[in-house]
Structure 1
């Protein structure tokens, strides 16, 4: 079984690539507008929740460091 090599400068390889991209994009199941809005809200809320969680952790660590180390 021989390997087929494709030259990088071959114009057919570039057109074959874009045809493959186009055919793969046709297989994608895109979310509806409602799903997209719901997913976006979930992501924004998760980011805010983690931000608040890390803020609390940071304040606790800074309080402990300032209490015990920087006396």
Structure 2
């Protein structure tokens, strides 16, 4: 198992959002995308379908850039 910090950015009802998630990627060769879907308790086939379920528009996920986040905090 590994833990990753993931960023999801997009818009919901016309308002931009930014979410930081700490996800756990399972040992059974689970992908980060599957772990995000599991985090939301969804049965979606992929991230795009999860986004539609959640009502997100123009969204994407990426790995957090920890050094950049630390600089922003200072």
Per the TM superposition, whether the score is higher than 0.5 is no
Which of the pair has the greater relative contact order for Cα pairs under 8 Å at 6+ separation?
Answer: 2
Q: Higher helix fraction: Structure 1 or Structure 2? A: 1
TM-score w.r.t. length of structure 2: 0.21
Greater C-alpha Rg:
1
